[in-house]
């Protein structure tokens, strides 16, 4: 398993532990038997709203966006892309639900990674499968985070 990871922090809502992000990314990739070249971009609600509107036509802030990069030469079990996470949203939701911000960020990051790995949550059955995988991965990696059903 190889992983080229760049973490770009563009927000000031929460001090983020980049080592925890790296460990989580590597743990998910190992469990999924995949290699990756990805960027994780940490932003506020304003920036993620702009991106959600520009790329998906949704004029609201969201928790996480995933963008798969198309490569000329596709390698099996290798993902390339970018995951954009609203740390502001994670911090606010965690505070409101009396949970750790790092756990909420771990959920968003895992969700984004699974999208890059080909999981989809558009249909109810697919979403259930994706959330089950999130639950297993997060539990196995030491996170006690409630995952949507």
pLDDT for res 46: 97
**pLDDT band at residue 82 under the 50/70/90 scheme:** very high
Q: Which residues contact 138 (CB under 8 A, 6 or more apart)?
A: 106, 107, 110, 144, 145, 147
Could you state, in order of their start, the residue ranges of all structural domains in the chain?
3-140
Residue 3, pLDDT above cutoff 70 = yes
Percent of the chain with pLDDT over 90: 83
Share of the chain above pLDDT 70, in %: 95
What is the SS3 assignment for 94?
helix
Predicted pLDDT at 72:
56
Q: Write the DSSP symbol of residue 63.
A: S
Q: What is the pTM of this model?
A: 0.92
- The structure tokens 């995933």 sit at 66
Tell which CATH classification among 1.20.1060.10, 3.40.50.1820, 2.60.120.10, 3.40.390.30 matches the domain 3-140: 3.40.390.30
| Confidence at residue 74, expressed as pLDDT on a 0 to 100 scale | 60
Token pair 């756990």 in the structure block, residue: 103
Work out the average pLDDT over 31-56: 96
């Amino acid at each position: 398993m190889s992983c080229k990871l760049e973490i770009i922090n563009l927000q000031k809502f929460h001090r983020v532990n980049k080592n925890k992000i790296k460990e989580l990314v590597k743990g998910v990739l190992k469990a999924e038997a995949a290699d990756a070249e990805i960027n994780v971009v940490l932003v506020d609600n304003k920036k993620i709203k702009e991106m959600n509107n520009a790329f998906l036509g949704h004029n609201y802030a969201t928790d996480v966006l995933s963008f798969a990069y198309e490569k000329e030469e596709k390698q099996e079990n290798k993902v390339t892309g970018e995951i954009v996470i609203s740390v502001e949203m994670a911090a606010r939701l965690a505070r409101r639900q009396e949970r750790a911000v790092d756990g909420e960020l771990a959920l968003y990051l895992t969700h984004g990674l699974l999208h890059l790995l080909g999981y989809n949550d558009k249909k109810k059955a697919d979403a259930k499968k994706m959330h089950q995988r999130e639950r297993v991965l997060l539990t196995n990696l030491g996170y006690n985070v409630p995952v949507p059903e």
